Structure 1
Amino acid sequence: MTIADAGRLFLLVGPSGAGKDSVLSGLTARLRPEDNVALARRLITRPVIPGAPEQHVAVTPEVFARLRAAGAFALDWDSHGLSYGIGTEVEAWLDCGLSVIANGSRGALDQARTRFGARLTVVHLTAAPAILAARLAGRGRETRAEIEARLERAATLDAGLGPRVTIRNEGPLEEAIAAFHALVLDRPAPPRPGIA
């Protein structure tokens, strides 16, 4: 099998408040079996929140450490006091021709580029800092100082992203979902209303 025959890994990255979980949820609702696209579930060292857009696999830090040591992750990283991992099954899916969508981290891009090379498409979902700040404040999980720290971190990480496709999630959520869906299926995105 050549790279042309293999699937692509679409690694979604972006700052807190960009809407990654909401976009992924909307995208997966659009996908059909004949699209040959799989969604990688992350393992995270935090409990699952019922009703939250992302339904990850919750594991303890001890189990995560054992999985990491056993080589169970194609990608793994630590952020904001939590550990995140994407299992090696994504490599088998790619080798079988499936495209894979994964919620990743800007801090793990070097690892992803090394492991997946030409099969990787980095998708950077973002929004203006004022929009990010309002969304973070609206979810009520961070203090004002924590929100400011996240925005500063976002600016630093965004500066070193390298090659990527950027989707701005600043209007209706459906526009960002449609743009990502078109990218994954390699079709032009539908035109935005009022934009030539």
Structure 2
Amino acid sequence: MNAIDRGGERKFDGGRLGPGVLVLVVGPSGAGKDTLIAYARERLAGRADICFARRRITRAVDATENHIAVDDDAFARAVAEGRYPLHWRANGLSYALGEEIVKEIAGGRIVVANGSRATIAEARLRFQNVKVVHVTAPPEVLAARIAARGRESGEEVLARLAREPMLAAPPELRILNVDAVDAAGERLAAFLRGL
């Protein structure tokens, strides 16, 4: 999928983006995906061949994730204009990877992104090389972590945990994130170093 500039709009011509690698870090809410991504970003700061995507989310910026807040109307316009190479809805919000990753992937870089299990198949259609890292934790750990964010009620936390889509194929790396951050984070960093 190659990007074409059409009067300031980015459209994709139907081919698959490459030759770089898109690493989707997926898993249930509360698994610690953002924490592990932040750990890997810090450890791999000197690697010019690895970059970390900032998602667009229809949620205000907070301390739990370094994302770009977009309102619903702007998000819908960007989707209609074909500006997001990958987008999805989950937990009542819209998420997307921004068009800047197109250049990184085209340049052969590794792009690491917090993704969604439900969008892996779509990612494989849009990108030549997709690697999946599945991060998870026991249900009681997930519930405690989600509740600690303070963004959802107890019922909303349970509803999040009930939406646990299965992976259609085994991931390239599975991380059970129950130990210290550096233990699980180093597994992710080591995986990225080896790509």
| TM superposition score normalised by structure 1 | 0.84
Q: Secondary structure at the match of 2:162?
A: helix
Task: Write the distance in 1 (CA, Å) between the matches of 2:64 and 2:90.
Answer: 19
In the other structure, the counterpart of 1:163 is: 170
Note the aligned Cα RMSD (angstroms): 1.7
Task: Write the distance in 2 (CA, Å) between the matches of 1:48 and 1:163.
Answer: 32
Task: Write the distance in 1 (CA, Å) between the matches of 2:37 and 2:179.
Answer: 16
Q: Secondary structure at the match of 1:33?
A: coil
Q: Say whether residues 1:59 and 2:70 are aligned partners.
A: yes
Q: Which runs of 4+ in 1 moved over 4 A?
A: none
**CA apart distance, 1:121:** 0.2
User: Deviation string for 1:142-174 (max 9, x for gaps)?
Assistant: 2222222222212xx0x2342312111011111
Query: Any conservation in 2 of the 1:10–1:100 contact (CA below 8 Å)?
Result: yes
2:22 corresponds to which of 9, 29, 39: 9
How many residue pairs are counted as aligned between the two chains? 177
Task: Write the distance in 1 (CA, Å) between the matches of 2:65 and 2:152.
Answer: 19
Cα distance change, pair 71–171 in 1 and its aligned pair in 2 (3 A): same
Q: Say whether residues 1:173 and 2:181 are aligned partners.
A: yes
User: Deviation string for 1:63-102 (max 9, x for gaps)?
Assistant: 1111101111111011122111102332321221211101
1:85 corresponds to which of 96, 102, 111: 96
In the other structure, the counterpart of 1:34 is: 47
User: Deviation string for 1:20-49 (max 9, x for gaps)?
Assistant: 111111111111333510111111111112
Q: Secondary structure at the match of 1:34?
A: coil
Q: Say whether residues 1:20 and 2:20 are aligned partners.
A: no
Q: Secondary structure at the match of 1:94?
A: helix
Unpaired segments ≥5 residues, structure 2: 1-17
**CA apart distance, 1:111:** 0.9
Query: Any conservation in 2 of the 1:35–1:185 contact (CA below 8 Å)?
Result: no
Query: Any conservation in 2 of the 1:25–1:53 contact (CA below 8 Å)?
Result: no
In the other structure, the counterpart of 1:153 is: 163
Cα distance change, pair 137–94 in 1 and its aligned pair in 2 (3 A): same
More helix by share: 1
Q: Say whether residues 1:183 and 2:191 are aligned partners.
A: yes
Q: Say whether residues 1:134 and 2:144 are aligned partners.
A: yes
